[in-house]
Structure 1
């Protein structure tokens, strides 16, 4: 049957926008010509921002945007613009800042009323139907009756949006020192939940960038309490319902303090970063749980988020249909006790204890979310069961549940491909290969990298941000360049193909030409070839994804060690200095910057392996957790300065250097580890 309504979103490729293409609201996508028409007609903008996996976005659509009476109010008084925040993070940045300035809160759906030129004057997240129409009418009346008042407020807000994003060029002679970092971490640690991991509050986000820094810091400083906290967090997250025990992969966050009940959407960006984090933690600890978590997460991504040509899709929705046809959050993932008994038979008794089919694991309405709270070793000992037998039994149970779950209605897939998130997962795959030594992961990484090269590049040497149905349409943002450069460096350090380093360097040069702010030394989020509203954002705060500037700063630092003839190190230092006044008062929001500070504070090594057996030697050292180093390897002395005059016929030697000053070469891994393992220097 033909839909009753169709609007301009029908011509878009974003699954989120297409979900609204048959609303009675006359939605438009964010395009310059739409904003120009609003100014010509002097008509207010109503901007609604969300994403495909957003539960409350769906709720508001059902209650408001599918209602013809509500649509009439919107269409008569506003030009209505729908934005996929994942496609247009530049727009989302502006209006999220505006909302937080107006209300002190943020979230999605993000609804903004703005003047025809895009300056906002009202904002809210989810609004009930009866309130929505009322407030829209009030806003329209206010603009008609007192436009000067609205104009004045919008201008003050626009000035504030610009002011809060200013970054000054710091001229401090000294960088953040180790004593200051110790104080920053000590202040930060007051918020740690040392029993369950994460922060001592709900909801709980995994925040891999924070744990990545703390793993580095705890290892470098030999800080037992910090390492205990990292291990507790990683263990409880992997045991929790926030990790899909049946099918692998992490949901976005848990709504409780014990990682039990997730907000069930699964995002590529979380899983890419968590693969990196758990792979590194496995290299440092040898904990099999961390290895298994990497393996199951990659299996999930490969199975459910990978296209036929090895691009990676964005997310799975939180909602799916129940047996009764109702759309319900988590319906695909939860279990009832009688269902588990019937499926597992005699195995149920021990499964029940391992995965807490009891008060601890109960969610609501008789539904259970699988969660562990004890190691297999402890349960095996308690029940006098052979450990391997217990493992096999649990794997059999999970396979049964996986097969049964495949019969259920599946969560919707957001099948747009984002360059930045692909970069995060590509880096995860390179780390998984490096630390777990599974060649399948390198094969996947190379296929995904090939997809990026073939589909995400622009004719002038830049990157696109998005890809869907063979079409890439939005110019790349700094996050795209930063994450792909990081991934290409990771690919070099696992393949030793110099072309990946050259590609990384070429993208840095593109960013310096089109994103760099000479006034502050930072990088803008948008290119100088793109339109913007109110400001060109400078992204600096590390959150669920590290800030694009902090990723870029670390890229510059690492590339300075591969290409010392270029002045990348001073650029990285300037970026760091610009941000360091924030570290002590807000360490948790600057974890990736603090990781960079560790690079500068402590010895950082270039490890060059030269000789015919370079691959074998590089693999042996690459599997070690050595975040204070870069790794280069070749069978000859060409390509980069690290190889020059290093080849000795018939030998394959490790060369350990600090900014080009090298120790005595050796063929023995043990000697290298003794030279570079975190030493006692402050």
Structure 2
């Protein structure tokens, strides 16, 4: 115990903690990013504590560079992932996630720095410009560590394990997420954004601890290795529903909607589960309607160009983080269509129509015939919010006096939240004219778009198209919503692409259009299989046209073993092997597959005590409507 305390003291430096707190207190509204050539964005949250951690990671990393402040030769150059490729110019000698680097790390007996981020992550880009491109920090990393960079969207299993490790062993997580691993790939420390001075001190002390107390570090890392999973509970639908509603009642914000907290995320898988419950308690139904109204009417929604932002950094939905993700907008499209069918005439269909319009106009790739993954939160000059924001003098110039007076009354009596000005929100009258005048000046926001089309996220959109077809069938005479009118046709186009992909010998994780052809990125994983299965079955049900899903079924079935679900992307921190996989911003893999593949075993200790993490499982009470597996 004394050894553990001594090790913890060495790493938990008061000075680092103070520097982290100072960094976290920087205001977002005055932040401007250096934008190297194109692909920048803001997203994710800042985390300020630094804790030593312990747990394992099965596989890792890369041969490292030499001590040098010059730009290291990078294996990231020309990588098809825009997020990975933008790090090729860093002086850090980044390496890729692959089996060869595991052997290199072990042979060189160096600690591993594993770094995960994504295209539309704000602090990922801040850390790149301020830290990774700093010669001193890069030299320290190249000298003492093997540094690996992964795109979390291409490696969701690895990233989810990194996040779980950080939450368990330091209490919080975010992006860019970093783990420090032993040379044989077992994590024992975690951190997110750190400024240069703090990072350099941290790395020196971690490396010193490794060199002087290897046995202690290895003991801690081995002790944190996940133990074999055991089935702890039996599935009880009534018990789970009671526990979920009880926890939800204690967590809801019945004033502003959403769940209590300083940030507000849509929590769409939870909301989709609730809206499909026919006997939802009245207080939860009222809260759900309030949440839908607040998300659509406040600043989480882009009232000018359509689509939802990732989340709001305040509890009132007033200050969005401006990145837009396909997985959010696909699920929210389905949610608002279901909401309009349940509670008509509340404007939910208009929100769905505008969301679908955004997806088709800005994320659809004609070359791939799929939808791209995300849109950045910053413009080419590195400004957060970019073309989504308008200064008061710009508004006065763009609008006639009568409309400007309305905007003044509605928006300009308060100082702007953002450095670039005001985020438009519908006025009580003449909003259509105001919107048209602003769009005439800026027809589309000039915000970079990730070039990857992720298969699982497109499958989520297919589920939404299935719901749009149901909505359209019940509103055949509705002419106001032009995008929803096209939804059955667009859905048919998407199902053709995804069905072909599902029948291929190897399902890719992602596709990108490069050198005038579709290029696959990595092998697909269990998430891709599960979301494809769910989306294709949803379309098959509403279209009443049988689809050949046997090839996909045959890929899924071998992944369920006596230990639970496994993932075909085998290179991970440790094997998946869980019967129950929690939901996050996207649905639970195991819940989506549970009815069809008989996975009703519960091996998560907090399944009934923290059911909000597993809300999708409420849908398992409807298994009688599940499609029959093919023989």
Q: TM-score, normalised by structure 1?
A: 0.75
Deviations, residues 379-415 of structure 1 (Å, cap 9, x unaligned): 4xxxxxxxxxx4xx3223212222323476x222111
The CA deviation at 1:38 is 1.1
**3-state secondary structure, aligned to 1:107:** coil
Structure of greater Rg: 1
Structure 1 residues 191, 439: CA separation in 2 closer, same or farther (over 3 Å shift)? same
1:465 matched to 2:509? The reply is yes
In 2, the alpha carbon distance for the partners of 1:200 and 1:337 equals: 33
Higher RCO, Cα 8 Å, sep 6+: 2
The CA deviation at 1:97 is 2.2
2:523 to 451, 465, 475: 475
2:167–2:173 CA contact under 8 A, matched in 1: yes
**3-state secondary structure, aligned to 1:17:** helix
Structure 1 residues 631, 533: CA separation in 2 closer, same or farther (over 3 Å shift)? closer
**3-state secondary structure, aligned to 1:80:** strand
In 1, the alpha carbon distance for the partners of 2:502 and 2:533 equals: 13
Deviations, residues 115-171 of structure 1 (Å, cap 9, x unaligned): 1221112210001111112221222222223322222222123x2xx14x835164x
In 1, the alpha carbon distance for the partners of 2:440 and 2:358 equals: 14
**Which residue matches 1:523?**
565
1:48 matched to 2:115? The reply is yes
Bigger shift: residues 92-101 or 416-425: 92-101
The CA deviation at 1:263 is 0.7
**Which residue matches 2:451?**
415
**Which residue matches 1:206?**
266
Deviations, residues 591-627 of structure 1 (Å, cap 9, x unaligned): 1112223x26xxx6xxxxxxxxxxxxxxxxxxxxxxx
**Which residue matches 2:316?**
258
1:6–1:23 CA contact under 8 A, matched in 2: no
1:191 matched to 2:251? The reply is yes
Structure 1 residues 167, 483: CA separation in 2 closer, same or farther (over 3 Å shift)? farther
**Which residue matches 2:543?**
495
1:367 matched to 2:421? The reply is yes
The CA deviation at 1:306 is 1.1
2:332 to 271, 274, 288: 274
The CA deviation at 1:41 is 1.9
Structure 1 residues 319, 181: CA separation in 2 closer, same or farther (over 3 Å shift)? same
In 2, the alpha carbon distance for the partners of 1:62 and 1:211 equals: 37
In 2, the alpha carbon distance for the partners of 1:94 and 1:274 equals: 26
1:317 matched to 2:370? The reply is no
**3-state secondary structure, aligned to 1:166:** coil
**Which residue matches 2:170?**
103
1:233 matched to 2:291? The reply is yes
In 2, the alpha carbon distance for the partners of 1:640 and 1:26 equals: 49
1:456–1:472 CA contact under 8 A, matched in 2: no
Deviations, residues 251-280 of structure 1 (Å, cap 9, x unaligned): 110011111111111010000100111111
1:583–1:594 CA contact under 8 A, matched in 2: no
Alignment RMSD? 2.8
In 2, the alpha carbon distance for the partners of 1:104 and 1:630 equals: 38
1:320–1:329 CA contact under 8 A, matched in 2: yes
- 5 Å-filtered alignment, 1:27-106, equals 27-106=94-173
Bigger shift: residues 64-73 or 331-340: 331-340
The CA deviation at 1:305 is 0.9
**Which residue matches 1:347?**
403
In 1, the alpha carbon distance for the partners of 2:626 and 2:471 equals: 15
Structure 1 residues 413, 537: CA separation in 2 closer, same or farther (over 3 Å shift)? farther
The CA deviation at 1:640 is 10
2:389 to 334, 338, 341: 334
Structure 1 residues 132, 30: CA separation in 2 closer, same or farther (over 3 Å shift)? same
In 2, the alpha carbon distance for the partners of 1:119 and 1:348 equals: 60
Deviations, residues 551-577 of structure 1 (Å, cap 9, x unaligned): 2125x2xxxxxxxxxxx5xx15x24x5
- Gaps spanning 5+ residues in structure 1: where? 380-389, 557-567, 605-628, 633-638, 642-682
Structure 1 residues 640, 283: CA separation in 2 closer, same or farther (over 3 Å shift)? farther
In 1, the alpha carbon distance for the partners of 2:138 and 2:607 equals: 47
In 2, the alpha carbon distance for the partners of 1:225 and 1:258 equals: 20
**Which residue matches 1:427?**
463
Q: TM-score, normalised by structure 2?
A: 0.81
1:596 to 620, 624, 627: 620
Structure 1 residues 352, 134: CA separation in 2 closer, same or farther (over 3 Å shift)? same
**3-state secondary structure, aligned to 1:415:** coil
In 2, the alpha carbon distance for the partners of 1:307 and 1:88 equals: 22
In 2, the alpha carbon distance for the partners of 1:314 and 1:124 equals: 26
The CA deviation at 1:180 is 5.8
**Which residue matches 1:619?**
none
In 1, the alpha carbon distance for the partners of 2:577 and 2:533 equals: 20
Alignment length, in residue pairs? 547
